Structure 1
Amino acid sequence: MKELVILVPNGQNNISSIAGSHKLFSRANDYYKRMHNKQVFNIQLAGTAKKVDFDEGLFSVKTQVNIVDLDKVDLIVIPSLDHNYDKAIKLNPDIIDWLIEKYKEGTEIATICTGAFLLAASGLLDNRKCSTHWITEDVFRKKFPKVNLLSGGLITDEHGIYTNGGAFSFLNLLLYLVEKYYDCETAIYCSKLFQIDIDRDSQSAFSIFTGQKDHNDEIVIKAQSVIESNFKDKISFENLANDFAISRRNFDRRFIKATGNRPVEYQQRVKVEAAKRSFENSRKNINEVMFDVGYSDVKAFRTIFKKLTGLAPVEYRNKYNKG
């Protein structure tokens, strides 16, 4: 039997991914045992403390074993963290060192949502693909510039390390792992039992573009304001750079450093965000929304929209329109 460890980090306030992981893998074990007369995993909650409180003491999780007492581990699941990532890293140095040790021994590691911050602190994600909650992407990129963060990604799988996007999309990662460690039949059973859309592969449709203004470059902030106020118009970024008395090359360099996007990419994101809001709250057709946000080429609009949301415009409208 293989050994599965679900970590319980110290000082955290997110219990759902711990309980959810335990429940889903337990049900997968039960089903597989009924079908094949054996379990795949021995599941244990592990950490460095005997008990960790959540939600200001309203809930608590008791660990079953200390990480130092674990020998061979096949798979480690790191749950999502609360939003004080520096605190999470500071409170869990032993867990971070243990992750490095176990990975070197051949253990596979899966992170749920913002659990990627804890794994990234170990250096194991350097120069590798990673996904995390869309709302934390800017913070993550600045904190871990060596990691290849995939914007809008749901699941990554690289060299025995798995990561996933935000919130309850972790259930898709768990199904992915069930299919790998158990079989497709068990994954389908779990998807039906927990009513999880097994085909989801992106969190882009759920993301809300917030402007990427967590930086101190005043020129870029002013440029962002110009783009957001005039996103329907054709903007000359050459002229915009001249307005700020800097070269176009320097303007692009500063913009990319501050936001992670080229100016034209930033404008595309602003346009698509406006289109998303229109699809959600109006009865306008695709062409009307396209023209409203400054596109005249249907193919170009559809291509950019699907690239940034993971859905075609008509699919997005049908899925999220409140009318």
Structure 2
Amino acid sequence: MKTISILVPERAVPAAIVDPQYMFSAINMFYAQAGMAPAFKVELVGVTKEIRLNNGLLSFHPDKLLTEVETTDLIIMPATSGDISEAIELNKAILPWVVSQYNKGSEVASLCNGAFLLASTGLLSGKTCSTHWLHAPTFRSMFPDVKLVDDRVISEQKGLYSSGGANTYWNLLLYIVEKYTSREMAVMASKFFLLDISKNNQLPFSMFKGQKAHGDEIIVAAQEYIEKHYDAKISVDDLAERFGTGRRTFERRFKKATSNSIVEYLQRVKIEAAKLQLETGRKNVNEVMYEVGYNDPKAFREVFKKYVGISPVDYRNKFSTEVVPS
């Protein structure tokens, strides 16, 4: 039997505590129905015996204090709400306990922006991690030594798991169920909870918003120019000349400030504009392609799929509010 320790941190998102508890309890129910012993012992763990969440509207009473847990097989680190830095500070007492348990052999899984708490332990240094795409720029700024794979729904490395944004943590829970029990049990859980067990990236749901809180005024001006003229042909040389900087220096500053090369930024802005038109307009894919400055359908499809994870047609079919011709 595997022991699952679900942390109840200050400012935790209640659903990110209740849902894992429900998932692993449901697996135990499936085992009981088959006349078998339970697979999991599920415990809520906290610093105190009562943690009040949602401005005091909800109260959680952990089964154990951190000091009462000798060993565990898996620690779940839920998402938190509000200011991330404040949440880390409020929960700093949890961090050394997580490190200690990991060093004893426990695995650790973060849900959504719970990755910030996990990264704050130092365990992710030099490793990969996923989190909500919305928090990607902040995460990269706070933890530059962690390789963020914000396009993925699930990341795993050396017993450290992380999930993408919001409800994608259900896919991580399914992944853990399969690893700790069997594929058949994971499939049963996916049917019970009505989950897509094959979902493996969050790109179709992400929105690109260029990082502008870097303090380089020239690069901010360049970003705004690109975003205003995304439908035009813009070269790196043109941008460098427009903003009075040598090409190599301009490229270096742009990459440092935005975490994107200039070409990547141009592509991302064009694709974000295309996504918006596919969601809300009545133009077909080729018309949208021309509107955002592409002339080659093959190149447009390849770049679109690179950043969105699916084709323009599939994206329109998934998110469009209009019925439009192909």
TM-score, normalised to structure 2's length? 0.96
Q: Which runs of 5+ in 1 are unaligned?
A: none
Alignment-mate amino acid for residue 205 of structure 2: F
Residue 299 of structure 2 is aligned to residue 270 of structure 1: no
CA shift, 1:81, in A, is 1.1
Structure 1 runs (4+) greater than 6 angstroms displaced:
none
| Number of aligned residue pairs | 322
In 2, Cα distance between equivalents of 1:96 and 1:318 = 44
In structure 2, the partner of 1:251 is 250
The one-letter amino acid paired with 1:9 is P
Residue identity in the other structure for 1:169: T
Distance in 2 between the 1:279 and 1:240 partners? 28
Taking the aligned partners of 1:13 and 1:146, their CA distance within structure 2 comes to: 25
After superposition, the CA RMSD in angstroms is 1.1
Q: How far did residue 194 of structure 1 move?
A: 1.1
1:165/1:138 CA distance change after superposition, 3 Å: same
When normalised by structure 1's length, the TM-score is: 0.97
Tell me if 1:20 matches 2:26.
Answer: no
Partners of 1:239 and 1:274 in 2: how far apart?
22
Q: Secondary structure at the match of 2:34?
A: helix
User: Is 1:209 aligned with 2:211?
Assistant: no
* Partner in structure 2 of residue 260 of structure 1: 259
Once residues 231 and 316 of structure 2 are traced to their aligned partners in structure 1, the CA distance between those partners, rounded to angstroms, is 20
Checking the alignment, whether the CA contact within 8 Å between 2:12 and 2:78 is kept in structure 1 is no
Alignment correspondent of 1:131: 130
Tell me which residue corresponds to 2:34: 35
* Counterpart for residue 172 of structure 1: 171
**Structure 2 unaligned spans of 5+:** none
Aligned to 1:122: 121
Q: Which has the higher contact order (CA 8 A, sep 6+)?
A: 1
Residue in 1 that maps onto 2:308? 309
- 1:5 aligns to 2:9 (yes or no): no
The answer to whether the Cα contact below 8 Å between 1:279 and 1:316 also exists between their aligned partners in 2 is: yes
The reply on whether 1:74 has 2:73 as its aligned counterpart is: yes
Provide the rounded CA distance (Å) in 1 between the counterparts of 2:233 and 2:188. 51
Q: Does 1:229 align with 2:267?
A: no
SS at match of 2:75: strand
Q: How much has 1:243 moved relative to structure 2?
A: 2.2
- For residues 303 and 59 of structure 2, what CA distance do their matches in structure 1 show? 45
Note the C-alpha offset of 1:283: 2.3
Preserved CA contact (<8 Å) 1:13 1:53: no
CA distance in 1, matches of 2:223, 2:205: 22
Q: Is the 8 A contact 2:130 2:154 kept in 1?
A: yes
Is contact 1:46–1:67 with CA below 8 Å preserved after alignment? yes
SS where residue 307 of structure 1 aligns? helix
Displacement of 1:139 after TM fit?
A: 0.5
1:290–1:298 contact (8 Å) kept in structure 2:
yes
AA aligned opposite 2:199: R
Alignment of 1:103-122 (within 5 A): 103-122=102-121
Shift, 1:13, TM fit? 4.4
User: 1:103-160 CA distances to partner (integer Å, 9 max, x unpaired)?
Assistant: 1111111000000000101111111110000110000000000000013211001111
Partner of 1:45: 44
CA contact (8 A) 2:128 2:146 kept: yes
Asked if structure 2 preserves the Cα contact closer than 8 Å seen for 1:32 and 1:182, the reply is: no
1:77-92 to 2 correspondence within 5 Å? 77-92=76-91
Q: Deviations over 1:157-206 (max 9, x none)?
A: 11111101001111111011111111111111111111111111111111
Residue 184 (structure 1) aligns with? 183
Q: Is the 8 A contact 2:47 2:65 kept in 1?
A: yes
Distance 2:31 2:282 in 1: 47
